[in-house]
Amino acid sequence: MADSILRDKAKDFAKNIVFLCRDMKSNCKESVLINQLLRSSTSIGANLHEAQYAQSTSDFISKLEIAQKECYETEYWLELLFETGCMAEETYKDIQNDCGSIRRMLISSLKTIKSK
């Protein structure tokens, strides 16, 4: 159940990022940064989805760890886009909070699975 909550949250996050990137592309010239954000943020959910079909526990852990790394990368691109004026502060705080929530859930999930 918790895993599906995490997958759902990551998918909703990815959709929000897609919409955000569409808006930013019309107002911001840093399309390379926007594309990086789009790639890393959508990769979180993709790796969680792929983890459902892991061949082993170590494969499952690996997918979650990749998702966690993508989450950290996403936080970097969000921060950079905010600091370069491509994103409003309120939008940044909301999206960063969502990303942090997913990251914390991934950390917790990884601790749980590794302790078994």
Tell me how many domains the chain contains.
Answer: 1
| Residue 21, pLDDT score | 95
pTM over 0.85: yes
Rounded Cα distance between 86 and 111, Å, is 35
CATH number of the domain residue 101 falls in: 1.20.1440.60
Average pLDDT of span 97-111: 97
In tens, the pLDDT along 84-99 reads: 999 999 999 999 999 9
Q: Which structural domain, as residue segments, surrounds residue 33? A: 2-115
